[in-house]
Structure formats: structure tokens, C-alpha cells
Amino acid sequence: MEWPRASGILVHPTSFPGQFGIGDLGLGAVRVFDFLSAARQKLWQILPLGPTGYGDSPYALLSAFAGNPLLISPEHLIEAGLLTADDLVSLPTFPTDHVDFASVIPAKLALLRTSFAYFEASSCQSMRKRFDAFLAEQHEWLDDYALFMALKAAHNQVAWTKWPTKYRQRDPEALAEARTTLAREVVFHQYCQFLFFAQWEVVRQAAHERGISIVGDLAIFVAHDSADVWAHPDYFHLDDAGLPVVVAGVPPDYFSVTGQRWGNPIYRWDRLAETGYAWWIARVRQALKMMDIIRLDHFRGFEACWQIPGTAKTAVTGHWVKGPGISLFHAIHKALGEVPFIAEDLGVITPEVRDLQHALGFPGMHILQFAFGSDANNPDLPHNYSRDSVVYTGTHDNNTTRGWFETQPSETQGHILRYLKSTPNTVVQAMIRAALSSVANLVILPLQDVLELESEARMNFPSHADGNWQWRCTDDQLASKCAEELADLAHLFGR
């Protein structure tokens, strides 16, 4: 498909400013959209939006279809009569520059349960009708998700493989009984999804009114402890106890002698193919209701993924196993038409992966922080770009550009400064200018780089189990002059 020349900013909703301990879909979202509009940016990229599980990671979700209840705006609930201002009085004082998940999660869930009580007592028939319509529209995934969450709460949040056999193996009579005995908890989780998607639609409309398209992230794999794997065990390589026989990761390389063992279960692509890839089509259809452009995380896994024995402690003993290839995308295209996909084509990229990407016509990615480790043939250097690509200074997995530059060896720093005709003080602005002035049709900048923040603002450190996904911007930072400066560059380079 044809991609217009445009640029945008990467910032996840949890990073929005606001008073409730975590960014949400309320006034902070509007504040960020106004910033993007003032900066003449046409794209807003986000991470996966689902309910987070292990490590609060948006890449370890409890559902590939649901929304994260922590993003629901209390302000909008007050406007809808589903909370009162008095309900907010007892909230703790939260930090404004990062998310303290340990305090935010219980406080936010308590607010949502208070709101649910208002909903149960409400006599508003129009709201009831909207809720019932939502249940009917989303039942294919929502029924399983709500029951999964209710059972998880009833079993002290342990993984579903540790539940009693009748629930683990989805005995129909046991599940029917659970839907009755846990009915209120099931409806609570349905209610939270109703709120999330209603608020998300308002957010999406607010972005579109400002000429901003949403770039969403679709992770190839799902978490083992998720409603998806529990509800569809036949689609994954699991043993009789529900544990993964094989898991995903990446092989040993220059950065890690043992590789990375992600732990996500591997798909039974043969069984998915027998259904015409119905589950994947439903997943993409759901994503298109929430976003305008889909970034396919770990695109190379659709050609072949690194498969590791489920009992292995590291990724060393893994091997490459073929994925669905072009057949999956043909099925998606047949069902949904042309979908605007971006391929996250980082990592070990073989000629077979490139052939698949080119056959599908998906633009790939360039990371400027990866450009200066070799010679002038480095494909991430701007003079080697093609128009059909997406350029980032860095991603959520990278250090901020300021922090990255300061950790480079002096020889590399010299190379960077010579290439960009920059000084150490202006290197971040020079990186942004190099991206925006390139021939690449699309450019996306992490908000931390636009604000020129240090390493403390890094979103994720892949080798660290704790302390990730916490960074938030503040109202003061969004009030800086950088929006005006970015707008000038966007105009100058035709974005």
C-alpha cells in the first residue's frame, strides 16, 4: 500500500500525565494529543493495550483481546455518574514521574469495584442497553476472558495450570457451575471491559479529530498464563497438564551467549490453518477496531521462530522451526481486506524473512541507535534508507538517545558526531533531524527523545525483570518549547 510521508511520537498511555498514579484515557490523553498536534505530528504509536500480568509488561498480557482496566479514567467515570468526587478523596498520593504499580493496582481496582456497585444500582436503561450490546458484540472472547479472570481471583491469582483439573481442562459442567457461583465477579470483569472500550473510542476519536492516526503493536506470541491459551489449548504445543512443551525465544548472539528464553508457548500452526486461521483473523479484526496501523512485533517469527524445549533453562538448545509464512496473511487479507501492517524486522533476519516481507509489501524498521557500530554500509544509516521504511531514533526497548550516546565509547561518539555534524550537547536534536530529513516515509520518535531525557526515562530494559514500564511524562515537560521546534522540522521536511 502507499504510505504518506509522516512522523509521529511513541508514548504508551500509562506514560500520560495525570493525578491517579498511572496515565489513563482521561484528560492526560487530550493533553498529549494537543502536544502532538502542536508539533505537527500525524502518528501516535502505543504498546499493546491489554491487561498486564507478569512484571506489568504489555508484552505479557492476560488476554490478546481485552483492554487494560488500569487505563480507565476516573474523571470520565465521574462524568458518567459511575463515581463521585468523594470516592477519590481516600486515594494515596502517587508520584507523577513514574508508575508505582504496587500502589496503583489495588487503588485503581478498588475504584473500579466502587464504580461497579454504582452501575449495579443504576436505573439508567440506556447504559444497560449499551452494556448488553457490548456483551453480545464481544462474546466470542469476552465470555472466556471474564470467566478466566473470575477463576483466577478465586484461586489467589495463581496460573491456570495450578487450578483444579476440572477448571484447567475446561470441564463443561464445572465451567457452567463456575459461571453461576462466580457470576458477580464475571460481570465485574465484563463491566471493566465495557468501560475500557467505551473510553478508548472517545480517545480514538479525539486523536482523529486532530489528524492523528494510531499505530498499535501486535505481539506475535501470547503469554502462557492468559485467557487465550486457557480457552484454546489446542492451538498451542502443551502437555497434558497444560504446560508448554516448547517455548519461544531468540538464539545466542553477540549480546547474550545463552540467548533469550521468553517462555511464550509456540503455536500449533497446523491446527490454526485447519480453522482458516480464524483466531488470528479475529485478533487482527479486534486490533483494527482500536488502531489504524498495526506494527507486527517479531515479524521474523512468522517465517521461522526459535523453538526451545519447555524444560530448558536457557535458549541455547533451541532450533529454528517454520512459521505459517504467507498463508496466514493471505487468510487475513481474504477476510479483512488490505491491512496496514508494519514489520518489526529486527534481530536475526535471513533471506527467507526478507522474501516474505517483500512479497507482502510490509515496510520494515530502521533504528538510528543501531547505525554506528560498523561502516558506511550499515543499513540503519540514513543514507542507506529506502522510502518504504519506518525510522526510529530508538524504541521502548532501547535506552533514551541521550542516555545511549553518553554510554558509547569515545571512538563511537566521535563517529556519531562526525556523521551528524553535531556536538555532544546537540546530538539528540541532530538524530531527530537526521530521521525526519531522510527519504523514509514514516518516522516515529519516542517522547523521551523529543524531550531529550536521560537514561532514567528509559521505558524497558529487556534483561531486567523489575523496574520496567514505569516512566511517565509530566505536564511541565509537555509545556516545553520542543513541540514548536518539532513542528518546524516536520514542516521543513514535508511531514
Task: Give a yes or no: residue 48 inside a domain.
Answer: yes
Query: 364-367 and 389-392 as β-strands: parallel, antiparallel, unpaired?
Result: parallel
Check whether 492 has a pLDDT greater than 90: yes
> Rounded to whole angstroms, how far apart are CA atoms 112 and 73?
10
Task: Give a yes or no: residue 283 inside a domain.
Answer: yes
Task: Give a yes or no: residue 187 inside a domain.
Answer: yes
Task: Give a yes or no: residue 76 inside a domain.
Answer: yes
Q: What is the pLDDT of residue 318?
A: 96
How many structural domains are present in the chain?
Answer: 1
Question: Residues 447-475: pLDDT tens digits?
Answer: 999 999 999 999 999 877 788 999 999 99
Would you name the residues annotated as active-site residues?
A: 297, 344, 397
Query: 2 pLDDT band (50/70/90 cuts)?
Result: confident
Question: Residues 338-367: pLDDT tens digits?
Answer: 999 999 998 889 999 999 999 999 999 999
Task: Give a yes or no: residue 450 inside a domain.
Answer: yes
| Strand arrangement, sheet containing 6-10 | 341-343, 293-297, 213-219, 43-45, 6-10, 442-446, 389-392, 364-367
Q: What is the pLDDT of residue 1?
A: 82
Check whether 124 has a pLDDT greater than 80: yes
Decide if 492 contacts 117 (C-beta within 8 A): no
CATH of the domain at 403: 3.20.20.80
Q: What is the pLDDT of residue 288?
A: 97
φ, ψ for residue 212, nearest 5 deg? -105, 125
Check whether 388 has a pLDDT greater than 80: yes
Task: Give a yes or no: residue 39 inside a domain.
Answer: yes
Check whether 260 has a pLDDT greater than 80: yes
CA proximity to 299, closest of 360, 371, 382, 255: 360
Placement of cell 508539533 in the chain:
39
Mean pLDDT of the chain: 96
Average pLDDT over residues 5-13: 98
Placement of cell 491517579 in the chain:
20
> Rounded to whole angstroms, how far apart are CA atoms 91 and 260?
39
Check whether 254 has a pLDDT greater than 70: no
Q: What is the pLDDT of residue 255?
A: 64
Question: Residues 210-253: pLDDT tens digits?
Answer: 999 999 999 999 999 999 999 999 999 999 999 999 999 999 87
Query: 326 pLDDT band (50/70/90 cuts)?
Result: very high
Decide if 380 contacts 366 (C-beta within 8 A): yes
Decide if 228 contacts 63 (C-beta within 8 A): yes
Three-state DSSP state, 389: strand
Question: Residues 38-66: pLDDT tens digits?
Answer: 999 999 999 999 999 989 999 999 999 99
Check whether 480 has a pLDDT greater than 90: no
Task: Give a yes or no: residue 1 inside a domain.
Answer: no
Q: What is the pLDDT of residue 123?
A: 79
Average pLDDT over residues 144-172: 98
Residue 293 belongs to domain spanning: 6-492
Question: Residues 189-203: pLDDT tens digits?
Answer: 999 999 999 999 999
> Rounded to whole angstroms, how far apart are CA atoms 283 and 13?
21
Grid cell in block for residue 181: 457461583
Query: 257 pLDDT band (50/70/90 cuts)?
Result: confident
> Rounded to whole angstroms, how far apart are CA atoms 277 and 327?
9
Separation in Å, CA 313 to CA 39, 243, 259, 305, 461: 47, 15, 11, 18, 20
φ, ψ for residue 218, nearest 5 deg? -115, 110
Least confident among 21-25, 121-125, 437-441, 457-461 = 121-125
Task: Give a yes or no: residue 471 inside a domain.
Answer: yes
